[in-house]
Structure 1
Amino acid sequence: MKFYLKKSLDFITTLFLISLLTFGVFQLLPGNPALAILGPEADSTQIKALEEKMGLDKPIAQRYFSWVVGAFHGDLGKSYQYDQSVSKLIGGSFSVTLSLAIVTLIFTLFIGFFFGFFYAYIWHSKFFKPLMNLHQVWFSIPSFCSALLLILIFSVKLGLFPAMGYVPLSQGFFPWLYSLTLPAFSLALGSGAILARYTTSSILNQFRQDYVRTAKSKGLSQWQVITRHILRNALLPSVTTLGLIMTEILGGSIIIENVFSLPGIGRLIATSIQTRDFPLIQGLVLYLALITLICNFLVDMIYTFIDPRIRK
Structure 2
Amino acid sequence: MLKPFLRIIARNMLLVFVMSLLIFWVFTLVPGDVATITAGTEADIQLVESIREAQGLTLSMPTRFLRWSLSALKGDLGYSLRYDESVSRLIQIHATITLRLALIAMSLTVGLALITASIAVVFYKKLIANWVITLNQLFMAIPQFWLGLLMIQLFSIHWGVFDLFHTDLQWVDYLFPAVVLALVQSAYLSRYIIYAWQREVKQRYVSSGLARGISQNTLRFKHALRGGLIPSVTIMGLIWIDLLSGSVIVEKIFVLPGLGQLLVNAVASRDIPLIQGIVLYFVLIVIISNLIVHLLYQWLNPRG
Shorter-chain TM-score range: over 0.9
One-letter amino acid of the structure 1 residue matched with residue 41 of structure 2: P
Distance of 2:135 and 2:110 partners within structure 1: 20
* Residue 252 (structure 1) shift: 4.9
Match for residue 279 of structure 1 among 273, 288, 291: 273
Which residue of structure 1 aligns with residue 88 of structure 2? 87
Give runs of aligned pairs for residues 209-228 of structure 1, distance below 5 A.
Answer: 209-217=203-211, 218-222=213-217, 224-228=218-222
One-letter amino acid of the structure 2 residue matched with residue 89 of structure 1: L
Which residue of structure 2 aligns with residue 172 of structure 1? none
Q: Any idea what the Cα deviations from partners look like across 1:52-76, whole Å, max 9, x if unmatched?
A: 2211111211110010001000011
Q: Any idea what the Cα deviations from partners look like across 1:200-228, whole Å, max 9, x if unmatched?
A: 10111101011122334424242x32442
Which residue of structure 1 aligns with residue 113 of structure 2? 112
One-letter amino acid of the structure 2 residue matched with residue 66 of structure 1: R
Q: Any idea what the Cα deviations from partners look like across 1:204-261, whole Å, max 9, x if unmatched?
A: 1101011122334424242x32442123321233111111111112225111101111
Matched, 1:246 2:279: no
Which residue of structure 2 aligns with residue 66 of structure 1? 67
| Secondary structure in structure 1 of the residue aligned to 2:293 | helix
Matched, 1:296 2:290: yes
| Secondary structure in structure 2 of the residue aligned to 1:309 | coil
Which residue of structure 2 aligns with residue 100 of structure 1? 101
* Residue 167 (structure 1) shift: 4.3
Q: Any idea what the Cα deviations from partners look like across 1:91-150, whole Å, max 9, x if unmatched?
A: 111000010011111110111111112112222225544542343122111111211222
Q: Any idea what the Cα deviations from partners look like across 1:253-307, whole Å, max 9, x if unmatched?
A: 1111011111101111111111111111111111111111011001001102211
When residues 166 and 107 of structure 1 are mapped into structure 2, their CA distance, relative to the original with a 3 A threshold, is farther
Distance of 2:67 and 2:168 partners within structure 1: 37
* Residue 178 (structure 1) shift: 1.9
One-letter amino acid of the structure 1 residue matched with residue 262 of structure 2: L
Choose 242-251 or 25-34, whichever is displaced more.
25-34
Distance of 1:229 and 1:219 partners within structure 2: 11
When residues 166 and 140 of structure 1 are mapped into structure 2, their CA distance, relative to the original with a 3 A threshold, is farther
Match for residue 232 of structure 1 among 218, 223, 226: 226
Distance of 2:118 and 2:192 partners within structure 1: 11
Contact 1:146 1:186 in 2 (8 A): yes
Contact 1:257 1:263 in 2 (8 A): yes
Give runs of aligned pairs for residues 1-312 of structure 1, distance below 5 A.
Answer: 1-129=2-130, 131-165=132-166, 167=168, 176-217=170-211, 218-222=213-217, 224-310=218-304
When residues 124 and 165 of structure 1 are mapped into structure 2, their CA distance, relative to the original with a 3 A threshold, is same
| Secondary structure in structure 1 of the residue aligned to 2:303 | helix
TM-score (norm 1): 0.91
Distance of 2:147 and 2:168 partners within structure 1: 22
| Secondary structure in structure 1 of the residue aligned to 2:126 | coil
When residues 164 and 238 of structure 1 are mapped into structure 2, their CA distance, relative to the original with a 3 A threshold, is farther
One-letter amino acid of the structure 1 residue matched with residue 283 of structure 2: A
Structure 2 portions without partners, runs of 5+: none
| Secondary structure in structure 1 of the residue aligned to 2:230 | helix
Structure 1 portions without partners, runs of 5+: 169-175
When residues 153 and 235 of structure 1 are mapped into structure 2, their CA distance, relative to the original with a 3 A threshold, is same
One-letter amino acid of the structure 2 residue matched with residue 92 of structure 1: I
Contact 2:106 2:243 in 1 (8 A): no
One-letter amino acid of the structure 2 residue matched with residue 214 of structure 1: S
Distance of 1:228 and 1:136 partners within structure 2: 26
Distance of 2:106 and 2:129 partners within structure 1: 26
Distance of 1:235 and 1:131 partners within structure 2: 18
Distance of 2:38 and 2:10 partners within structure 1: 39
Contact 1:232 1:306 in 2 (8 A): no
Distance of 1:118 and 1:286 partners within structure 2: 41
One-letter amino acid of the structure 2 residue matched with residue 292 of structure 1: V
| Secondary structure in structure 1 of the residue aligned to 2:231 | helix
